[in-house]
Structure 1
Amino acid sequence: MRRLLLTLLLLGSGLAHAGELPETDWLDLMPLSDQKALEAMPEIDHNSPEAQGTFTDKGGLKQSKGLPAVMYSTKTVAAMNGKNIRIGGYPVPLETDAKGRSTLFFLVPYPGACIHVPPPPPNQLVLVRYPKGLKLDDIYTPLWVTGTLRVENVNNDLADAAYALDAGKVRVVKESDL
């Protein structure tokens, strides 16, 4: 129950500790035309091999053919390029250092986003570069990530992203943040 509460409150909290940037909302990364298209989108069918835990040789998490165009959108918000932000989300680890700390990961807006299909559109995925690394014990643990956001097309076998963030700080969300 506690994890559910953290999940529900994370993205809508907007609260910042002293000295932290205000929270950037995930919708700030999506042009208004895409926001409207998402609102009008029909229900998505989750009956795919990935839903049963079966993945293709490419990881199985890329967008399936036949979804509404907004689910493939790489449209970005130019004003976000080069902006120093703090955004909350969930990690999808890609690379670790010799000590097992995640140094490269996707940040997604909701837990399990790259496990359930379809994954979020590329403009709702952020590739995070964090050379200091972070020990991740659970991909369902929400994180705050602070750093410089860049508009950057990222193509990965797991998923595609329209943004990358050079993180200066990554930390687990605590109850006191909410």
Structure 2
Amino acid sequence: MRRLACLLLLFCCTLARAELPETDWLDLMPPEDRKALEDMPEISHDSPEGDGTFGQQGGLKQQKDLPAVMYSAKTVAGLDGKRIHIGGYPVPLESDAKGRSTLFFLVPYPGACIHVPPPPPNQIVLVRYPKGIALDDIYAPIWVDGTLKVEKVSNDLADAAYALDAGNVRLVEEGDL
């Protein structure tokens, strides 16, 4: 009986550690938003940030004259409460006493904190990671595992349509590619 209990425990631990399938960023958008994004005209990147001059505030906040899909906070209800594995780029917001990021936005492409326009809110995920991770380079991709929530978050930097309570965050390694 003891041997059976040990085998069952080992099996459960193996399942818990098994990597979740990767969630694609487009999976966070409802089908109508994906279609609108595909049909969207070219966007100009002419801005103070694009010129390398950062005299005005902006962060990830949207301009006011973009196609509607670029402001979309429409979510996919079936993802609420689902455990996911998603790759992206961090935009640090808060850190602990050791300088590890404990709260950050995850975005689908590098440099979203300085490029205009930023992703739509349904392509920005607020990540809560109390353990913290050292983020020396915001252009280095990371993997995040955790439970996704449909949760609108707004601060001075950005608007997000999702939040994720992370159980694991790690840098993407060469073997992942």
TM-score with structure 1 length normalisation?
0.87
1:113 deviation in Å?
A: 1.6
Match of 1:129, SS state, is strand
1:6 equivalent in structure 2 = none
Asked if 1:123 is matched to 2:122, the reply is yes
1:110 equivalent in structure 2 = 109
* d(CA) in 2 for partners of 1:48, 1:118: 9
1:55 deviation in Å?
A: 4.8
- Conserved 8 A contact 2:88-2:107: yes
2:24 equivalent in structure 1 = 25
Instruction: Using the TM superposition, name which of 44-53 and 163-172 deviates more.
Output: 44-53
Superposed, which structure 2 residues align to 1:141-156 within 5 Å?
141-156=140-155
1:56 deviation in Å?
A: 3.1
Match of 1:51, SS state, is coil
2:11 equivalent in structure 1 = none
- Conserved 8 A contact 2:92-2:101: yes
Larger Rg: 2
Superposed, which structure 2 residues align to 1:153-172 within 5 Å?
153-172=152-171
2:98 equivalent in structure 1 = 99
Q: Percent of aligned pairs with the same residue?
A: 77
1:48 deviation in Å?
A: 1.7
* d(CA) in 2 for partners of 1:127, 1:61: 13
- Conserved 8 A contact 1:50-1:60: no
1:2-39 Cα shifts (integer Å, max 9, x gaps):
xxxxxxxxxxxxxxxx7110100001100000000001
1:100 deviation in Å?
A: 0.3
* d(CA) in 1 for partners of 2:121, 2:59: 15
- Conserved 8 A contact 1:51-1:117: yes
Match of 1:49, SS state, is coil
- Conserved 8 A contact 1:50-1:61: no
Match of 2:65, SS state, is coil
1:175 deviation in Å?
A: 1.1
Query: Per the alignment, do residues 60 and 23 of structure 1 end up closer, same or farther by CA in structure 2, a change over 3 Å counting?
Result: closer
2:70 equivalent in structure 1 = 71
TM-score with structure 2 length normalisation?
0.87
Asked if 1:36 is matched to 2:42, the reply is no
2:5 equivalent in structure 1 = none
1:61 deviation in Å?
A: 2.8
2:4 equivalent in structure 1 = none
1:54 equivalent in structure 2 = 54
1:177 deviation in Å?
A: 1.2
1:86-108 Cα shifts (integer Å, max 9, x gaps):
00000000001110000000000
Letter in 2 for 1:164: A
* d(CA) in 1 for partners of 2:60, 2:159: 9
Stretches of structure 1 lacking an aligned partner (at least 5 in a row):
1-17
Letter in 2 for 1:120: P
Letter in 1 for 2:89: Y
